[in-house]
Structure 1
């Protein structure tokens, strides 16, 4: 396939573009700066500028655009950026598809598990209602923008969970603390995190490219786990203690909004669509995922 990708420079995008090329696909990446090689194409999503000819011959478009959710404090300006950095690129891609002589057959546009808000112990399949909060509203509007793709385009909106990586991503600040033996759970630790490893995210997108699946897809591992269980598994794999719990009031005070929604909200995802379609996880069990994460620096 020939695939056009937006947001290829991030953690997920870097991994995914490599996985796509390793699988034999050609990938054209959209960049905001002058192109550094023939595989890059310049666009200006903030201004809604993308030459529809860029999509000529493309079988699919993958959209991973968006400013990092946990990179900075949630000031009013930052929250506006979280919205605009997702909605602008998505609308620009959709508009280019509408102007293209032959739109791509598939549009996979990232969303997130934040769609469901704080759902406690409720098992969340793809037909669950949207929740409340900043992240939920971002995901709702993000998905709605993607669904404006022209008729005939298969639209998939992966609601990706907490991505486990050996460096960066959701564990970027936590892993160094765990390696030093000074990490621990957040709040009471009974909130569910819908975790998934970075290789399984790329594998899931590759699977979705070749499938007939459309609509929302929970991209999370099939083994559900709360934060206490996740932190314990990671610490065990690293051969370190993890007894230093971070109280919820401290998180709320130090990280207003961000700490609450990103670390304390509970989302017990079931990847029902992927399971029914026959997807196979490389790291479907938390113990396997933790061992994979711990391999960095030879620790395992």
Structure 2
């Protein structure tokens, strides 16, 4: 994480005319602000390249992520978005979605001895949000609990910078090099280890959703590897199938096991997952 976050560029301030703003996220390659205006609330994302360190290689693609996501959102028909360039990279403006993410919502499930069980309604909300994306011909590529926001009326699936499905201009595109490894399907990890790249798929999204439901309910990763293990070591554990036993309450256990099937062709579709839950 950088010592000081990047401030909102003048072009964004002039366009939004904020009444207030709050820093939400400040990490390597990305800064996110919640911005209040007279016309509504917005999320503003700033992207900039990650410089190389002794522990991490340089990552120039992070500078393009906000404008790529803006392009994806535009193709998906999302209203009230804007995107462009600033001195360090790119930015986008999109509607702010208020509410807890899935992991926070299911926090009571993870309290030792708790009788609280994961709500089927929340899982169905995740399924519906992902199904909408798949119906439009897109794979998300970065499904994780933090990207499901539980709004007052519906579940929102956010962070589509890595999504694949439509035609993204070459000037703002970049290869998919995997996602947060906790939710990475074996075929994705295998491809990244072999070539440095992979192709997001709907089947990989299903695996990631199963892993998201499991960790949100139990607090445990699907694949067992040390917390501080390097990414290649983590991915090798995924490819080698070092899976924990899937134990979840209610109807979830059998379904999540199917979603986490090692072979992508044997995983249920998003529609089959929804049918099983409902």
Q: Same fold (TM over 0.5)?
A: no
TM-score, length of structure 2 as denominator length: 0.32
Q: Greater relative contact order (Cα 8 A, min sep 6): structure 1 or 2?
A: 1
